Structure 1
């Protein structure tokens, strides 16, 4: 390796891979990193060089969570709609590309009104550095009269 030459990281490869997609690169402050947004909606977060978080929506992550978790490459946070992909190989980049395609379809408000609210990604730590913010932000939806207090 030449002096001053920095090897390219998987996070850099992710940004390069989605350059011609309908996504915009932004800076993320909490924790530091980069994001790829779709119409100002965060779809991909890159907080570290070896992982990416994708906002699939709660419905999609609930439907595919078991299969994605079984792959051993993805951690799914169904309460938030986010999934974290480990980036170690080119195959991981292809998996991420497929998940981002699903995320764009699930989150594209240009074709329909938004159905799901965006929650913080699992890396957005609030209060304690050891516990992800999605543990603090569980929202329970009550449906019908059976769940109403007496």
Structure 2
């Protein structure tokens, strides 16, 4: 499937592919983007076109990391339990489907309470650490404005 012939985004294809799975579409905890959650735990993030992040857990990554990186389609950016999958072809969507199946098995909270993702996804960490935060800057400005002259 070449990008010039595609009329639907990969994020939409991913959401559609998992429509009948035990996953719920939601807004990513680390914006921007969409996510798929398993009983409240986000296990898939779709922050930008052509890239999906899957929460596999460190245990699964330590077992399969060599094979995942050898595929040339998966990156293991940090020690967070998340992997990044490039989405360019139908084969990549099938790879993503397999990884999401593993993520469900590795992260299934059973019938326990809803929970939030405990580890920050790699894209969010990279963007957060790439420069000064606007929120931090605004706080500094407010403090200076409230400081007596």
TM-score normalised by structure 1 residue count? 0.74
Q: Secondary structure at the match of 2:69?
A: helix
Larger Rg computed on CA atoms? 2
Q: Secondary structure at the match of 1:124?
A: helix
Which structure exhibits the higher relative contact order, with contacts defined as CA atoms closer than 8 Å and separated by 6 or more residues?
2
Shift of 1:118: 2.8
Q: In structure 2, what is the Cα distance between the partners aligned to 1:54 and 1:99?
A: 7
Q: In structure 2, what is the Cα distance between the partners aligned to 1:35 and 1:18?
A: 11
Q: In structure 2, what is the Cα distance between the partners aligned to 1:89 and 1:106?
A: 26
The question of whether the paired residues in 1 share the 8 Å contact of 2:23 and 2:37 is answered with: yes
Structure 2: stretches of 5+ with no match in the other structure: 1-5, 132-149
The question of whether the paired residues in 2 share the 8 Å contact of 1:62 and 1:78 is answered with: no
Structure 1: stretches of 5+ with no match in the other structure: 1-5, 131-150
Shift of 1:68: 0.3
Aligned-CA RMSD value: 2.2
Q: In structure 1, what is the Cα distance between the partners aligned to 2:104 and 2:128?
A: 30
TM-score normalised by structure 2 residue count? 0.75
Match of 2:129 in 1: 128
Report matched runs for 1:12-31 at 5 Å. Answer: 12-28=12-28, 30-31=30-31
Q: In structure 2, what is the Cα distance between the partners aligned to 1:111 and 1:76?
A: 30
Compared CA separation, residues 8 and 121, structure 1 to 2 (3 A):
same
Q: In structure 2, what is the Cα distance between the partners aligned to 1:107 and 1:77?
A: 20
